[in-house]
Amino acid sequence: MKKSKSNYINRELSWLEFNQRVLDLSADESVPLLERLKFLAISAANLDEFMMVRVGGLQLVEASGDTKKDIAGMTATQQLTSIRGRIREMYDFQARQLKELQPMLAKNGIRRLREDELSETQLDFLRRQFTNEISAALAPLAVENSYGFPLLSGARLCVCVRLRSKPEEIISPKVKKKEAQPDTDTDTDTDEKSDESSEDGERFALVPVGRSLDRIWAVPGDTVFDYMYVEEVVAMFLSQVFGGQEVLEAVPFRVTRNGDVSIDEDSRSDLMIDMQEMLQARRTSHAVRLEICDTASKEVKTFLCDALEIDEADVYPINGPLALSDLFAVSGMKGFNHLKDSPWPPQPVPELSRKSEMFEKIALSDRVLIHPYQSYEPVIDFLRQAADDPQVIAIKQTLYRTSKDSEIALALEHAAKNGKHVTCIVELKARFDEARNIQWAQRLEHAGVDVIYGIRGLKTHAKVCIVVRKEVSGIRRYVHFGTGNYNESTAKLYSDVSLFTCDEQLGIDAIHFFNAITGLSVPQSLGKLAAAPINLRESVLEMIAIEIESAKKEGSGEIIVKLNSLVDKQLIDELYRASQEGVVVKLNVRGICCLLPGRKELSENIRVVSIVDRLLEHARVFYFRHGGDDRLFISSADWMGRNLDRRVELMVPIQADEQKARLINMLHAYFEDNTNSSELQPDGTYQLNEPKKKKKRFRSQEFLYQQAHQIYQAHTNPKTTVFQPIRGSDS
């Protein structure tokens, strides 16, 4: 990454540096071998989404002629130029890493085979597989010229085949035309073009690789697991597909289409229909990237560029296999445990289990859980118990991203069938989860759930579930707030925070917030919650201002923030101002960070670290010293314009001293990490934090898992003590 001359970093280049930190773990020799392969696959999957959304959007801006500059002073054209160069470097890095990993994997029984390495037995096996199974899933498409090019859906792997008729099959175009037409006919331009392109008998065909086919094709062999990429198997037997044709070239390629397709929510009243049309539009949007094997001839590249109407600048020749995200199938294979991380099974939370009286426990005190170190089951059990509890009269729930077989959604369905009044906000506009959310919305409606599709013009990103219970003392509201999606699959991989509470004011606020969404109105005043786009931005600015005043008057002020992304210029400028007034600012920003720390007379008191480890850091936690009266919040919102102004988000206070102290210590642990932590430098580059002389290795995620284990042990054995990390001021 080039050193920044601005006081801000471009968000796209900052994101690419985050992806590089993910990719760097594939080169870390201390990481188990299959985990290194997994990080390689993650970096490729990340890059796919970046190309679809961010690059696709920038290309539309550039095409419109808009020369508006971003926070770092770059136009769309300048950003695209820098992005393309950085991505090419990343592709080279990925290719080198895969070549480095393959021999080590082979030594451990996981071997990628090439055609010239196949034994006769393996060749016969693949021939039978192709004839009996693979060929049935192929649909070869002849293409006379670029004008007849079929629409290829984005990210689908294809093989471009250059063919030539065998000598005995070639018919002179002139003879053919003479036989087909009277002498009096005049040749058209189209005829001349067709004749010219076919004089040597060459033509092109496309072979899209069927989505039903496994990308990683297992081959019986001498090692534990031999495999080939399916497109290479297809290329081996193309003569069976194109009988009578000479296969001159078979080139794997992949098209990425723009995924930044929006809908006009003001033009139609049926959002469901709008979303279905948007999904179709995404399949036919313009091509933003062409990935192609770097051995492709000039003829093939020219043909594909013309047909796809894609510039040479957006063509990425790949030295090796394409679509490395498919390597998840290898890294996640059963067995080979010695090549994987040692397991960190989520620790049970006995007091919040299905077997316990969960509502009674929550009524006694607030409960904070840190996932996935602590099990996500209590969140599911919260809804399961509510669905069956005769005292529960209503459930209100938001859903942004759900799992395929969502236990959360099934519990809501069960509750509705049990006669509970269930209302669910299903966000249909959750990018790349739209189709799944549409299916769940329709299924829940069928079960009797009142389903709301969100708010026009906004995405509902808040994570909240409210259970209304009729008790002897009256109506009581039990609430779960979270920083992560109600998705039990990603809850095993994402680090998030849950709060269970029966606080009266928070329950009232949650109801007002929810009713405002379902009633399409402005919520009544919120006593403890802050919500975007209403007052969340203002609440954060107010907290920063209090720290600035405290630093001015008392010489002390401290802000510690954990985020996924920090982009919003207003908040960045306020953090700069806080630094200049002497406030100590510590930022744990996993991904995009447009702020530059450590700059003289600007951000000398700001420190930024990024943790990239085996779990995806996803929680948003905000701490303000507040004159010694610590204030701590969890939130669904990153500090980005879209979260603060164009999404429905929540910021929730943590009030119980014990729970507050635990999260504050968690925040400090991230700044002690000297194993998987990188620190943002004043010039915009990142530097890996390593153990200093005589200082022990400290890994924050490992510590948090050990702490969760000790909390569980303390519950089962009261004599067990839970250790705490060193406070940041002591490090």
| pLDDT on residue 260 | 67
Q: What share of the chain is helix, strand, coil (3-state, %, to 5)?
A: 45, 20, 35
Residues of the chain with CATH 3.30.870.10: 350-528, 532-730
Bridge partners (DSSP) of residue 480 are: 465, 500
* In contact, 614 and 701? CB cutoff 8 Å: yes
Q: Are 379 and 500 in contact (CB under 8 A)?
A: no
pLDDT at 244: 80
pLDDT, tens digit (0-9, with 9 covering 90-100), for 641-695: 999 999 999 999 999 999 999 999 999 999 999 999 999 999 999 999 998 887 8
Residues 683, 154: Cα–Cα separation, whole Å? 37
Asked if residue 220 has a cis previous peptide bond (ω within 30° of 0), the answer is no
The predicted model scores a pTM of 0.89
Query: What is the CATH number assigned to the segment(s) 11-108?
Result: 1.20.58.310
Verify cis geometry, omega within 30 degrees of 0, for the bond prior to 691.
no
Parallel, antiparallel or unpaired: strands 450-452 and 421-426: parallel
pLDDT at 145: 64
What's the CATH superfamily of 350-528? Endonuclease Chain A (3.30.870.10)
| Average pLDDT for the chain | 88
Nearest to 373 by CA among 700, 45, 16: 700
Q: What is the pLDDT of residue 94?
A: 98
Name the strands in the sheet holding 287-293, side by side, starting at the edge strand that comes first in the sequence: 141-143, 202-208, 157-165, 245-257, 287-293, 315-318
Q: Which of 689, 676, 687 is nearest to 22 (CA)?
A: 676
Superfamily of domain 116-271+285-331: Polyphosphate kinase middle domain (3.30.1840.10)
pLDDT at 692: 86
Query: In the predicted model, what is the mean pLDDT of residues 474-490?
Result: 95
> What confidence score (pLDDT) does residue 493 get?
95
- What is the pLDDT at residue 720? 58
CA distance 538 to 540: 5
Distance (Å, whole) CA 411 – CA 586: 40
Active site residue ranges = 461
* 13-27, 258-272, 427-441, 585-599: range with lowest mean pLDDT: 258-272
Out of 98-102, 170-174, 366-370, 633-637, least confident range: 170-174
Distance CA 601, CA 611 (A): 27
Among the residue ranges 21-30, 58-67, 489-498, 649-658, the one predicted with the least confidence is 58-67
- Locus of tokens 């006995």: 350
Q: Which CATH class is domain 532-730?
A: alpha beta
Alpha carbon of residue 602 to chain centroid? 32
Q: Where in the chain is the domain with CATH 1.20.58.310?
A: 11-108
Among 247-256, 361-370, 709-718, where is mean pLDDT lowest? 709-718
Evaluate if residue 381 carries a pLDDT over 50: yes
CA atoms of 126 and 137, how far apart (whole Å): 15
Region of poorest pLDDT, from 28-42, 176-190, 400-414, 428-442: 176-190
User: What was the pLDDT predicted at 480?
Assistant: 98
> 571-576: which pairs have CB atoms within 8 A and are 24 or more residues apart?
571/537, 571/540, 571/541, 571/544, 571/639, 571/644, 572/8, 574/541, 574/544, 574/545, 575/544, 575/603, 575/606, 576/7, 576/602, 576/603, 576/606
Residue 611 has pLDDT above 50, yes or no: yes
